Amino acid sequence: MVSIVNKHLYINKLDIRGRYQGCDHNMHSNRVIRVSLISLILLLSLLNIFIIQEARSASNTGATTLYFKDYDPFYFLENNTYTPLSQNPPTKENDSTWPPAISKEEDFIEWLSIWIGFKVFEKNLDEFANETGFSEEELLQLLEEFGLTDPLQIKEDYIYDGEDTIEVKGDITFDLYFSSNLPSELIYKDSVKIIFYHNRKEIDNNTITLQPKLSKGKIQSYRATIENVEFSLEPKDILTFSIKIIPSDKPIGNIIEMIPEETLINIAEKIADLLNKSKKTEWKTIGETIKELLEESENISLSDIADLANTIRSSSFIYDSIKHPSSVTLPAKITSEEEDIRTYYLHEEEIMDENKPEKTESITQKIKETPIEWTSTSIERNKILTGDAKADLYINTRSLIPFRKKIVVTAELYDDDTKIAQTSQEIEGTLLGGKPKKPTTFVFKDLNYELPYGHSLTLKISATNRSKLDRRTVKIYYDCNETPSSLTVEFKDTDNIQVKYEKYPEDEKIIPGRSIIYILNITSKHDDNIEITTAGVSDEEKDAWHIKIILGDTHIKANGSATAKVFVNSTDSYSTAYGNTLNMSILVTGKTGAVKIPVHAQVSRDAIKYSVEIVGYTKHKNIKKGENSTFYFIIKNNNTAAKDDVDSYTITATSKNNWTLKYTHSITDLETEKQTGTEDIKVTVFVPKNTSKKSDTITFKVISNTDNNAFATVNVTVTVIEPNILEILYEFFENTAHSLGLDNTFGTYAPIILAAITTTIILLIIIVIILLLTRKFVEIICLERIKEINPDETAKYEITLQNKHKKTLSYELTTKTSDTSNRWNISIDTEKLILPPSQSKKVLLTVKPTSHIRKDDWIETTLIVKTIGKRKTEEITTMTTIKDGKTDLKITNVFTWPRRFKPGDHVTTSFRIENHGNVAAQNVKATLYINGREKNKVEELTIPSKGYAYIRMPWTASKGKNKISIKIKEK
């Protein structure tokens, strides 16, 4: 439980890790209020100590300089990082101070609340430890984890967002500014502790004593170093730099302890009344707060007040302004991924580069009308010069005559012989001249210029608007740590090279041993040679990932394209790879541009696709009633996962008939791509003895315990086997023999003997039945049963009937035919007949076609003979077919009425279609044409042999001659 006072001086409670939920809200509140009250009184009475004076700038050495920015003590709680440092020098005029000046009311109240909160925390640390269960050391560590620092300490972060691993080796240099209360600080010297952290782990620290000099003013610069630092800076690493002021013991603390408490409270009341009358809202707020606190305050310890007074009278950290750019310099060049800001420092031999000057003596050069110039190193590829560039030049001139015309100095920026930009500044001379305390800034605004690869920037400086009588000397100071004249520019990559890409899988999550594929389509505005590399891969990531780049043609013509593939493969196929991540970039670079493609690969269980398969099983079984049988199943783990990943499965088996089943209910720890044994999973089916069901369906289902959507189902069938006839008979005879008591006589042979006797009796009965069923009462004889006739002929069948019985029998004769039309006439010459034993008589069956007979027609005729008094009948079938069937259609008796008519009159034409053939004409179509155009028609006419059809067709007369034609067609 940590109490923190917010900027409105209210006490909040922060529950740490959920281990403490109690604590009275008002615990120690009076003590906090008392300290707050006295603190405000003292601070308001000491306003004069926060007057800031100007001092000269300090400079740093090293390859990368990081500047402290305006500190936010609550930044960590919201962002999980401290206030970020910047690679860009400060641009604001006003200083930031820590602790904040009381003139900045809101910042000051915020700082005061932090001081009070920490004071309460320190004084009650043992109580908090008892109530939360943490040790005092753990509570202090938790405070660090929450980013809550000492009120006299600031911590700021630099998060490396580059892509390459950088080896840092050497001294870390702090160039800092502090404000001291002179002359007391000459005797009572404060100390400053600088601390360096790498990924939240303290690497080293150093403590220096502030020794201000009376001649150098209130704000003075100090340099401190942490020596011989060596570490590897990986992508996303966090560097933290801490500045902590350690106040010395000053007399004011002892003085305050001697002041009566009531006197302090009276002073506070008077100050509160005074503030409440102020027109300024902030002061009124403070006055109201003091009043509210005084009403609730009680006696407090004067040592707390003395401690606060001592803190207020101590030094302050000054930073984040043009005049006082407090910074820390690392012994390595660090390039940010988000921005490419380069500072070129002017050196001798007319060169400028990114190495900060380390000399202590300035090089000076006169600025004349003829420009002096410095040229940078060449750039590695086409870059766009963008935004505002600035030249911070230490320039000065001596002027003995006041109000004399100022000298104009012009700064020009060139790409070889091409002028990019120009700007000018008026230089005001000083009486003494000498080395300038601060730079003159020349700003080249709104640049947008593409600098080709291999080219350099040139800075030219010249003096203008001078008369010939003007003998003043204008000098530039450079190549020195006190006068580091420089040019700062911002570059960005061109869009000359562009890349469209696809990635598979889209979310960049894979299982161990698999790959993410990036397909790149690269286009270039200019003729260029392309190179594909990767950046931001640490040594640890190189062990876990393998990257393969396939680029067919490295040369791209102007406005051409090329295709490349990048495979990012997890090298570990086992579950130990889960959680491995790769945050890097694919760099597509050429001389004219560059493109960066982010890669955020992850080996994750989210990429697993769960699947189970039933690879083998018994599909069908025949089981007898009252018995059981077992099905066997084999399942396979088809998950796309690590080789040593396992899955467990739940098994269910159900019977459609709800028969009893006994089966394996689960399988555990089945590895990826492995399958169960042949007898690991079994389902036994029990068929009831008295069931009437003939079959059953068993549904077998296996479900992954990890993902219920991964399952497999199969159906197997059971066929119930009925006992065969022998088994049924044997059981019958066994039961019968037992009921008759034969088993007492014949023993186990009783069923067999009874079956033999029964079988003999049954055979005799069957023989009698067969004899009766096969006996005939009449025999029908026809020597010629198939005849082919012409349509005008008659088929006559001579059939002989013979009585095969020993008695005289009477018979009824009928016919049956397959044809129900009127195309045939069937007749017999007699329908009843009496025959003595063994006698016979002939019967004539006549089959004659009618005029409706068709070509290739046929008929099957059956003569049925029934013995009167008997059920059994005998029959014989004949077949009659037609040959040489022809139709002969003719149109006759054509007549039209009326004979004379006018156009539009209704006219009727009648005619006959005669069939002179020997068979009926089927599907006849007759069409009437007038002057070759169809006017009417009839279809599907049937005209019997020797018959005709009379047709009448109405039509409408046309103008002129009406020629009539009639066409007939048989389908």
Which among 173, 315, 162 has a CA at the least distance from the CA of 241?
A: 173
Beta bridge partners of 550: 565
**Which whole number is the average pLDDT over 685-691?**
90
pLDDT of 352 reads 94
| Residue 231, amino acid | F
Where does the pLDDT of residue 838 fall: very low under 50, low under 70, confident under 90, or very high at 90 and above? confident
* Span 606-640, pLDDT tens digits: 999 999 999 999 999 999 888 899 999 999 999 99
Where does the pLDDT of residue 552 fall: very low under 50, low under 70, confident under 90, or very high at 90 and above? confident
Fold of 58-88+154-247+314-338: Jelly Rolls (2.60.120)
- In the chain, CATH 2.60.40.10 sits at 612-721, 889-970
Which among 272, 316, 270, 315 has a CA at the least distance from the CA of 293?
A: 272
pLDDT of 5 reads 36
pLDDT of 147 reads 59
Looking at the predicted structure, is the pLDDT value of residue 16 above 50?
Answer: no
User: Residue 385 contacts by C-beta under 8 Å, 6 or more apart in sequence?
Assistant: 420, 447, 448, 449, 450, 451, 457, 489, 490, 491
Beta bridge partners of 515: 569
Lowest mean pLDDT among 276-285, 440-449, 472-481, 888-897: 276-285
Query: What CA–CA distance (Å, rounded) separates 241 from 197?
Result: 6
Query: What CA–CA distance (Å, rounded) separates 393 from 486?
Result: 6
**Which whole number is the average pLDDT over 222-234?**
91
User: Residue 391 contacts by C-beta under 8 Å, 6 or more apart in sequence?
Assistant: 411, 441, 442, 444, 459, 485, 486, 487, 488
pLDDT of 510 reads 94
pLDDT of 35 reads 41
CATH number, domain 889-970: 2.60.40.10
* Joined tokens for residue 193: 């502790």
Where does the pLDDT of residue 434 fall: very low under 50, low under 70, confident under 90, or very high at 90 and above? low
Convert 39-85 into a string of H (helix), E (strand) and C (coil).
Answer: HHHHHHHCHHHHCCCCCCCCCCCCCEEEECCCCCCCHHHHHCCCEEC
User: What length does the chain have?
Assistant: 971
Fold of 497-607: Jelly Rolls (2.60.120)
Q: How far apart are the first and last CA of the chain?
A: 108
Where does the pLDDT of residue 531 fall: very low under 50, low under 70, confident under 90, or very high at 90 and above? very high
Query: What CA–CA distance (Å, rounded) separates 566 from 532?
Result: 9
More confident residue, 313 or 522: 522
Lowest mean pLDDT among 249-258, 599-608, 691-700, 790-799: 249-258
Residue in the block written with tokens 């009449």: 778
Where does the pLDDT of residue 300 fall: very low under 50, low under 70, confident under 90, or very high at 90 and above? very low
User: Residue 266 contacts by C-beta under 8 Å, 6 or more apart in sequence?
Assistant: none
* Span 483-510, pLDDT tens digits: 899 999 999 999 999 999 999 999 999 9
Q: Could you give the C-alpha distances from 362 to 409, 436, 776, in angstroms and in order?
A: 20, 11, 147
Pairing of strands 795-803, 778-781: antiparallel
Where does the pLDDT of residue 278 fall: very low under 50, low under 70, confident under 90, or very high at 90 and above? low
User: Residue 79 contacts by C-beta under 8 Å, 6 or more apart in sequence?
Assistant: none
Which among 451, 456, 398 has a CA at the least distance from the CA of 427?
A: 398
pLDDT of 447 reads 94
Fold of 778-882: Immunoglobulin-like (2.60.40)
Where does the pLDDT of residue 56 fall: very low under 50, low under 70, confident under 90, or very high at 90 and above? very low
pLDDT of 215 reads 65
Q: Give the global pTM.
A: 0.50
- In the chain, CATH 2.60.120.260 sits at 339-493
Q: Buried b vs exposed e over 238-248: b needs ≥16 C-beta within 10 Å?
A: ebbbbbbbbbb
* Span 256-270, pLDDT tens digits: 555 566 666 666 677
* Span 130-161, pLDDT tens digits: 777 777 677 666 666 665 678 888 999 999 88
Looking at the predicted structure, is the pLDDT value of residue 169 above 80?
Answer: yes
Complete edge-to-edge strand list for the sheet that includes strand 646-655: 620-624, 711-721, 695-704, 646-655, 666-671
CATH number, domain 612-721: 2.60.40.10
* Span 798-837, pLDDT tens digits: 999 888 888 888 889 999 887 777 888 999 999 898 889 8
pLDDT of 570 reads 94
* Joined tokens for residue 257: 């302890």
**Which whole number is the average pLDDT over 902-928?**
89
Could you give the angle at the alpha carbon of 767 between the alpha carbons of 765 and 769, nearest 5°? 70
On average, the pLDDT of the chain sits at 82
Lowest mean pLDDT among 99-113, 216-230, 647-661, 774-788: 99-113
**Which whole number is the average pLDDT over 371-375?**
95
Fold of 339-493: Jelly Rolls (2.60.120)
- CA dihedral (278, 284, 287, 291) in degrees, to 10, reads 120
Query: What CA–CA distance (Å, rounded) separates 193 from 185?
Result: 17
Query: SS3 for 761?
Result: helix
pLDDT of 265 reads 64
More confident residue, 478 or 88: 478
Give me the percent of the chain exceeding a pLDDT of 70: 82
More confident residue, 511 or 853: 511
Pairing of strands 873-882, 786-789: parallel
Give me the percent of the chain exceeding a pLDDT of 90: 40
pLDDT of 260 reads 62
Question: Are the C-beta atoms of residues 81 and 159 closer than 8 Å to each other?
Answer: yes
Looking at the predicted structure, is the pLDDT value of residue 15 above 50?
Answer: no
